[in-house]
């Protein structure tokens, strides 16, 4: 098992979620190490100066430090559902940029000293574009899920969970249906299994060796 890639992850991080989903759907076996963010393991810090999850250390020693790079690398090994055929880099860029900016200042308004309602409204303007796309198809790039859906939905999930009662009444019925369907999927349920934080000397925990169906 020491020859397998090593994935440093944190269960509730949306970047780590999307990386795990791609690893799992690709059936890419690796050793997974759950990280406690308040006590990051020295092995992860040594592998990546950025020291934020996710980090994938490949068998040859190369290190992937960005979640999208981990997703694309995993799918390049095997892409059984054709996720890479349903990509939308412009949507992902908006998600990772403006949407994430407003999401942080809505969810963590005290930390940022911001007006949460102002940033919720700004985020909703962005989400309305997704709502419009989902009015025409089941997923963002057609009827079948793809990398765009999997890269974006963990952040929409975080936005919705900030005030779920409010979100349930928001004028985004297609987005809500899309979100709830992906949350309930066997794939998402499989990547959200709780693990104890990894410590040096622990027995390796295998992840991703069996692809998960829709």
Q: What is the pLDDT of residues 75-117, one digit of tens each?
A: 999 999 999 999 999 999 999 999 999 999 999 999 999 999 9
pLDDT reported for residue 209: 77
What pTM did the predictor assign?
Answer: 0.95
**Average pLDDT for the chain:** 95
Residue 7: strand, helix, or coil: strand
Question: From CA 50, how far away is CA 150, in angstroms rounded?
Answer: 23
Indicate if 83-188 has the same CATH topology as 6-82+190-207.
no
Report the candidate in 16, 4, 22 with the shortest Cα–Cα distance to residue 52: 16
Compute the average pLDDT of residues 8-37. Answer: 97
Domain chopping of the chain, boundaries: 6-82+190-207, 83-188
Compute the average pLDDT of residues 36-56. Answer: 95
pLDDT reported for residue 29: 95
Convert the pLDDT of each residue in 156-213 to its tens digit.
999 999 999 999 999 999 999 999 999 999 999 999 999 999 999 999 999 987 655 5
Topology, domain 83-188: Glutathione S-transferase Yfyf (Class Pi); Chain A, domain 2 (1.20.1050)
pLDDT at residue 63 greater than cutoff 50: yes
Compute the average pLDDT of residues 31-47. Answer: 95
Assess contact for 106 and 162: CB atoms under 8 A: yes
pLDDT reported for residue 213: 57
pLDDT at residue 69 greater than cutoff 60: yes
**CATH, range 6-82+190-207:** 3.40.30.10
Question: From CA 115, how far away is CA 112, in angstroms rounded?
Answer: 9
- What percent of the chain is modeled with pLDDT above 90? 95
């Amino acid at each position: 098992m020491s020859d397998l890639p090593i994935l440093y992850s944190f269960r509730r991080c949306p970047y780590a979620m999307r990386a795990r989903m791609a690893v799992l759907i690709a059936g890419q076996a690796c050793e997974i190490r759950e990280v406690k963010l308040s006590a990051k393991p020295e092995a992860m810090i040594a592998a990546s100066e950025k020291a934020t999850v996710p980090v994938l250390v490949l068998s040859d020693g190369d290190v992937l430090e960005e979640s999208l790079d981990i997703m694309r690398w995993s799918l390049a090994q095997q892409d059984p559902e054709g996720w890479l055929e349903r990509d939308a880099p412009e949507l992902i860029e908006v998600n990772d940029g403006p949407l994430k900016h407003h999401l942080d200042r809505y969810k963590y308004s005290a930390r940022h000293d911001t007006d949460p309602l102002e940033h919720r409204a700004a985020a909703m303007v962005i989400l309305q574009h997704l709502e419009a796309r989902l009015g025409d198809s089941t997923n963002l790039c057609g009827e079948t899920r793809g990398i765009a859906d999997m890269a974006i939905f963990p952040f929409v999930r975080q936005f919705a969970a900030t005030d779920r009662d409010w979100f349930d009444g928001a004028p985004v019925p297609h987005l809500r249906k899309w979100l709830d369907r992906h949350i309930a999927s066997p794939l998402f349920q499989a990547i959200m299994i709780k693990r104890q934080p990894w410590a040096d000397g622990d027995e390796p925990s295998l992840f991703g060796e069996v692809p998960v169906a829709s």
